[in-house]
Amino acid sequence: MPQTAPACPQCTLENTYPDGSNFVCADCGFEWPQAAAQADDDDSAVVKDSNGQPLQDGDAVVLIKDLKVKGSSTVLKQGTKVKSIRLVGGDHEVDCKMDGGSFMLKACFLKKA
């Protein structure tokens, strides 16, 4: 299966193609190395807590501040321990279950327990 070329980092258009060891944007003519694009993908896969510690599926974490639940009057209190987290894609990286239900949280509001 061929590798799909990423969007151009300069003009953000997706009309790009691989050319040797570089990607080339057909719209603006910008060229960048394929190795750098692959390294960026590897770095984005690591989810880190507020202290920079890498998180993994099944870790226990603690909330570092009170969080209001959108669309509800519920507040998740600072210091609440959450067990068995699950890492997911998107802007809310952590999926978890607590007494109040299932929640998706941003890793920047968590620290590893």
What is the Cα–Cα distance from 5 to 83, expressed in whole angstroms? 38
What is the Cα–Cα distance from 25 to 58, expressed in whole angstroms? 41
Q: Is residue 41 part of a domain?
A: yes
Q: State how far Cα 86 lies from the chain centre.
A: 12
Q: Is residue 16 part of a domain?
A: yes
pLDDT at residue 6, rounded to an integer: 83
Q: Which of 47, 20, 45 is nearest to 31 (CA)?
A: 20
pLDDT at residue 3, rounded to an integer: 56
Q: Is residue 52 part of a domain?
A: no
Q: Is residue 30 part of a domain?
A: yes
Domain count, the chain: 2
Look up the domain containing 14 and give its range. Answer: 1-45
Domain containing 76 — which CATH number? 2.30.30.40
Q: Is residue 80 part of a domain?
A: yes
| Tens of pLDDT, residue by residue, the chain (113 residues) | 455 778 888 788 888 888 888 888 888 888 888 876 555 555 556 889 999 999 999 999 999 999 999 888 989 999 999 999 999 888 889 999 988 889 999 999 999 98
pLDDT at residue 1, rounded to an integer: 40
Q: Is residue 53 part of a domain?
A: no
One domain, residues 105 and 76: yes
pLDDT at residue 21, rounded to an integer: 84
Strand-strand pairing, 81-82 and 67-68? unpaired
One domain, residues 69 and 41: no
pLDDT at residue 2, rounded to an integer: 53
Q: Is residue 40 part of a domain?
A: yes
Domain containing 10 — which CATH number? 2.20.25.10
CB atoms within 10 A of CB 85: 23
What is the Cα–Cα distance from 16 to 18, expressed in whole angstroms? 7
